[in-house]
Structure 1
Amino acid sequence: MNTSELESPDRLPAARRRGAGAALMASGGIFFAAEFITAAAWTDPPYSYTYHFISNLGVRGPSTAFGQVMNSPLASVMNSGFFLFGLAALAGVAMLRGLPGRRHWPAIAMAALLAAGGIVLAFFPGSGEVADNGAPDYHFLGAVLGFLSGNVLIILIGRMYRLLGFSRGMGRGLVVAGIIGFVSLVAFGAVLGSGAGLLIGLVERGIIYPFLICFIIVGAALRKRGMVSRCR
């Protein structure tokens, strides 16, 4: 088998493309829907996307950490979103089997770490209690795992643009989104370390929103290409 055959974007069956696309779109959609519903239910005081941590939405409370009050009425909805979004991303990436292993397996590994991070976030809400009793902060570990793996994953997908049948411009855009996520991660650490808390919720969202939005864009592109391939 020659190199051109290995690099052909048509090696993935249309049905598998559509399934992978649907799962990746669901990943981003699940997270954003869970976040919106949970934030809308938090009214006393109103939840702030720019000030509050995302993790606050998963804490029933009342509790306090890093100077923020955590009291989420629909914490179970956000924790369900944490649990499901990573699994959906893993399912989507897994359905891209048929790509060269040197490209596909690293992506599966990152998707598996993202799913693991989401599960840890769901089962260990960031209530701040570990800071008081010295217990391991599993929520923090899950968050870091998700931050890193999600951005690495979207960069890997961007670098597979030709294999997936995307344009070079789209591939570059996905890589840039991952880089933005890592820059935001550094900024998040700086703001958190300073204790100022200025727009920390917004900065945190700069870590994960780019790759979540890209999951939806990639999913839509895969589904569209799968539909076109089926009609040929």
Structure 2
Amino acid sequence: MPASPFRPSRRQHVDTHDPEPRRAAWSALVAGPAVYLTAEFVAAAAWTDPPYSYTHHFISALGVRGPATAFGQFMLSPLAPVMNAGLVLFGVVVLVGVLALRLPAARRLPVVAAAVVLAVGSAVVALFPGDGDALDSGAADHHALGAFGAFTAGNALVLLLGAAHRPLGISRGRGRALVALGVLGLAGMVGYVALLAAETGVLVGLVERTAIYPFLAGLLLLGLALRRAARRRENGLVNGNGLVATGSTTTR
């Protein structure tokens, strides 16, 4: 017998273990990487002499107004404020997205902590550009701490979010993909540190991006997965027991 629209049948189920993702969460997690990549692209496109190289130049060079020479690279970024503003905004937007997630307290605390470190690290990188003057003032130390803090926290964040796939309401496969991206980013970080220690500078921009792009991809992947899950719930397609709701009836 069809369930009454006013009185739920015994087969109807309200899912309490797989909460509906908030719109603010998935929107911010998608917007954060988009903000960063857009700022990076716009700042890089403004370089003319020399043109910016994604494989050769440090990411930090995009935030140095210049002209300056540091770490063996000439830096002249006409739109340095765009890159630095993008870094700050990226961290804030991702933090907002993480705060909007519904997670159990045991999982929420480390996830929020990682997002806070990512946001603070990104802001420090923007406020203390890695230019030549910074070497004398000590600001380069702040820049390096901010960068490595952000790299580590960003990859740890997607690892933690991947491990929390069930309370987030995303598939195990997507959770594993997030974990894999976090591991890839941390491996990229190790490679980047090794390259800096060797002082070769060969493809340093490319290797540096292997520490950043994986967690950007992870945040974007999670945001899109949460968006898909939210829309499925809005359409009433599937509830927690795997029952398909059609109008006022519920079927398997």
Following superposition, the deviation at residue 73 of structure 1 comes to: 0.5
- Return the alpha-carbon distance in structure 2 between the equivalents of residues 194 and 41 of structure 1: 30
Tell me if structure 1 keeps the 8 A contact 2:58–2:208: yes
Q: Which amino acid aligns with 1:173?
A: A
What is the correspondence of 1:213-228 to structure 2 with a 5 Å cutoff? 213-228=217-232
Q: Secondary structure at the match of 2:132?
A: coil
* Aligned mate of 1:168, from 169, 172, 177: 172
The equivalent of 1:124 in structure 2 is 128
The equivalent of 2:61 in structure 1 is 56
Q: Secondary structure at the match of 1:42?
A: coil
Deviations 1:162-182 (A, max 9, x none): 111222111111111111111
Tell me if structure 2 keeps the 8 A contact 1:19–1:223: no
Q: Which amino acid aligns with 2:132?
A: G
| 4+ residue segments displaced more than 6 Å | none
Residue 17 of structure 2 corresponds to residue 8 of structure 1: yes
Following superposition, the deviation at residue 133 of structure 1 comes to: 4.3
- Return the alpha-carbon distance in structure 1 between the equivalents of residues 140 and 55 of structure 2: 28
Following superposition, the deviation at residue 131 of structure 1 comes to: 2.1
The equivalent of 1:185 in structure 2 is 189
Tell me if structure 1 keeps the 8 A contact 2:128–2:134: no
Residue 47 of structure 2 corresponds to residue 42 of structure 1: yes
In structure 2, relative to structure 1, the CA distance for the partners of 1:230 and 1:109 (3 Å cut) is: same
- Return the alpha-carbon distance in structure 1 between the equivalents of residues 59 and 16 of structure 2: 39
- Return the alpha-carbon distance in structure 1 between the equivalents of residues 139 and 91 of structure 2: 25
The equivalent of 1:88 in structure 2 is 93
Residue 115 of structure 2 corresponds to residue 111 of structure 1: yes
Tell me if structure 2 keeps the 8 A contact 1:6–1:100: no
Looking at both structures, which has the greater relative contact order when contacts are Cα pairs under 8 Å and sequence separation is at least 6? 1
The equivalent of 2:74 in structure 1 is 69
- Where in structure 2 are there 5+ consecutive unaligned residues? 1-13, 237-252
- Where in structure 1 are there 5+ consecutive unaligned residues? none
Q: Which amino acid aligns with 2:92?
A: L
- Return the alpha-carbon distance in structure 2 between the equivalents of residues 189 and 140 of structure 1: 11
Report which of the two structures shows the higher radius of gyration computed on alpha carbons. 2
- Return the alpha-carbon distance in structure 2 between the equivalents of residues 36 and 130 of structure 1: 24
In structure 2, relative to structure 1, the CA distance for the partners of 1:7 and 1:229 (3 Å cut) is: closer
Tell me if structure 2 keeps the 8 A contact 1:7–1:163: no
Identity %: 51
- Return the alpha-carbon distance in structure 2 between the equivalents of residues 7 and 29 of structure 1: 32
Q: Which amino acid aligns with 1:145?
A: G
- The alignment yields a C-alpha RMSD, in angstroms, of 1.6
- Return the alpha-carbon distance in structure 1 between the equivalents of residues 140 and 45 of structure 2: 31
The equivalent of 1:102 in structure 2 is 106
Tell me if structure 1 keeps the 8 A contact 2:64–2:131: yes
Q: Which amino acid aligns with 1:74?
A: L
Tell me if structure 2 keeps the 8 A contact 1:7–1:162: no
TM-score of the pair, normalised by structure 2: 0.85
Deviations 1:48-91 (A, max 9, x none): 00000000000000111110011100000000111010111100
The total of aligned residue pairs comes to 223
Q: Secondary structure at the match of 1:64?
A: strand
Tell me if structure 1 keeps the 8 A contact 2:56–2:206: yes
Higher fraction of helix:
1
Q: Secondary structure at the match of 2:69?
A: strand
